[in-house]
Amino acid sequence: MNNHTLGYLPALGWNSWNTFTWDINETLIKEIADCFVEKGYKDAGYEYIVIDDCWSLRERDKDGNLVTDSSKLVLFGKDDKEYHGEDESNVEAIKEDGSMLFIDAKPVNLSMDKNYFNPSKSNKIYVRNPEFYLRGKISDKGGFNWELRVNESVVDNYLIYGDLHIDNTRDFNIKLNVKDGDIMDWGMKDYKANGFPDKVTDMDGNVYLQTGYSDLNAKAVGVHYQFLYDNVKPEVNIDPKGNTSIEYADGKSVVFNINDKRNNGFDGEIQEQHIYVNGKEYKSFDDIKQLTDKTLNIKIVVKDFARNTTVKEFILNKDTGEVSELKPHTVTVTIQNGKEMSSTIVSEEDFILPVYKGELEKGYQFDGWEISGVEGKKDAGYVINVSKDTLIKPVFKKIEEKKEEENKPTFDVSKKKDNVQENHSHLDENYKKEDLQRENHSHKSDSTKDVTAKVPDENDKNFENKKEVYLNEPENIDNKHTNIDSKSTTNNDRLPKTGTVSEVFMSLVAGIMFTLGAFLGLKKKDQD
């Protein structure tokens, strides 16, 4: 039986205010601390020395309010340097003798993989297949909350703590199987209720969404998004009644019709549209009026929000105004997917990486596609635009075996000593190690993991057995009350320390407390 029971001792220590009020100094505090060690109070459990020198002046203002003693406060600006200016709007933190009050007016930081998260101005996310990946990083020095839902079912949620100094960035990689029309909504805010950011960066740190981007939202990102299937390329045709006119001479133009459709003939949305005339990008007639060529090569590149890309080239006779479509330049894409297969596509158009269908060597798993001329490996669903013959090969990695951690006691009770005070000190060291272990485990629990939607088994009251749910199945999305959980990470609360203690030791502690009070009183009297 150990001798460390929860609550067997009160919080033992000393508070400067009780004896000396604000009349304290460094020498006095050091003497008290030395006394704790020299007289054995520390070993007996006296571990707290509370210093209080008053943050306020002794006099209140005319309204009876406490007044801050400015001599004891240090202001920090947005550059984390001490601030001495008059404009306190630049103050980000206030420090008083070791304690810090932070002023948090900044929203959370958000980086997204724009190859997957590519919303339109109307908050539509166009996808090529049901597999959708939500990847990115979120952080806020002051800590933040996050929740992700699809069709009102919780997919991922967590709470991150921060102290405005540590890096508490949370990586997320969530795979969703979505159907046409599914609704995704999310929430993010820090402890001061600062929510969505004014700008969103890609994974390389470049801003690609910012305030004003969307016509429907004031912020860079919105709350609600709708998934729509789009496997249809934009259309580009010569049409005198079309929507795109290219002026090539005074009073002379050639007209094209450029539009976008998606699955089932519904309207899509064009994200990028570029026109090149003899290699120069065309915005207006001023861009090409200096060209003296009698024939013009017109190249039109159109990309929708699902990255379906259409590239067409035309030849225009300036004298006659006659325009005709050129045969497209093609390239070959070769992919090793079980067997080697080749596809011929128009140069600069899109190619979507497929799901790997080949055999796997025992102990290995598919880890992505390696693309010639492209840095890094890419996952299935990634869209590339190729302008030359390209080879794509699968990459594999060894499957790591997961080892379950043994439930070991926090400390070995067989090693306890007979001496009560020595044993108490020994256990304190163990508890410090225990706390460090828990802190390390808490940090490790925030590591990035692929998350798939999980639903508790209704027949198991403890919800220990979980099965994977695909959000595109009607039986899962129609019931909006379905509780979908994920492998979310939160900081674990520390467990209480437990044990026992003898009544003899309790009496000893009471005697020590009385002796300490008498000693400090005599010490103060001697000083006076």
- Among candidates 111, 118, 99, which has minimal Cα distance to 188? 111
- pLDDT at residue 15, rounded to an integer: 85
pLDDT of residue 455: 34
Query: Which string of b and e fits 15-45 if b means at least 16 CB within 10 Å?
Result: ebeebbeeebeeebbeebeebbeeeebbbbb
Give Cβ neighbours of residue 155 (< 8 Å, ≥ 6 apart): 148, 149, 174, 176, 451, 453, 471, 484, 486
The reported pLDDT for the residue numbered 416 is: 36
Residue with tokens 């009385």: 514
What pLDDT, on the 0 to 100 scale, is given for residue 144?
87
What is the distance between the alpha carbons of residues 48 and 356, in angstroms, rounded to a whole number? 61
Cβ atoms of residues 13 and 46 within 8 Å: yes
CA distances, 351 to each of 59, 76, 341 (Å) = 75, 52, 13
Calculate ∠ Cα 159-162-163, nearest 5°: 155
Residue 337 in tokens: 């997917």
Which one-letter amino acid corresponds to residue 137? K
Check residue 464 and give left, alpha or beta (phi > 0: left; psi -120 to 50: alpha): alpha
Rounded mean pLDDT for each run of 10 residues along the chain, 528 residues in total: 56 83 82 89 85 76 78 61 58 58 76 92 91 90 87 89 74 92 92 84 90 70 93 96 94 95 95 95 92 94 96 95 94 94 95 92 93 90 92 93 52 39 41 42 40 40 36 39 36 36 46 52 48
CA dist 73 and 380 (Å) reads: 56
CB atoms within 10 A of CB 323: 17
Over residues 293-320, the pLDDT tens digits come to 999 999 999 999 999 999 999 999 999 9
pLDDT computed for residue 128 by the predictor: 92
Q: Which domains are assigned to the chain?
A: 109-229+455-477 (no CATH), 235-328 (2.60.40), 331-398 (2.60.40)
Q: Nearest to residue 156, comparing CAs of 515, 495, 422, 454? A: 454
pLDDT for res 251: 87
Radius of gyration of the chain (CA): 34
Task: Return the exposure string of 336-371: e unless at least 16 CB atoms fall within 10 Å of the residue's CB, then b.
Answer: ebeeeeeeebbebbbbebeebeeeeeeeeebebbeb
* Under 8 Å between Cβ of 67 and 60: yes
What is the distance between the terminal CA atoms of the chain, rounded to a whole angstrom?
Answer: 49
Q: 222 is written with which tokens? A: 């919105």
Asked whether the beta carbons of 139 and 109 are under 8 A apart, the reply is yes
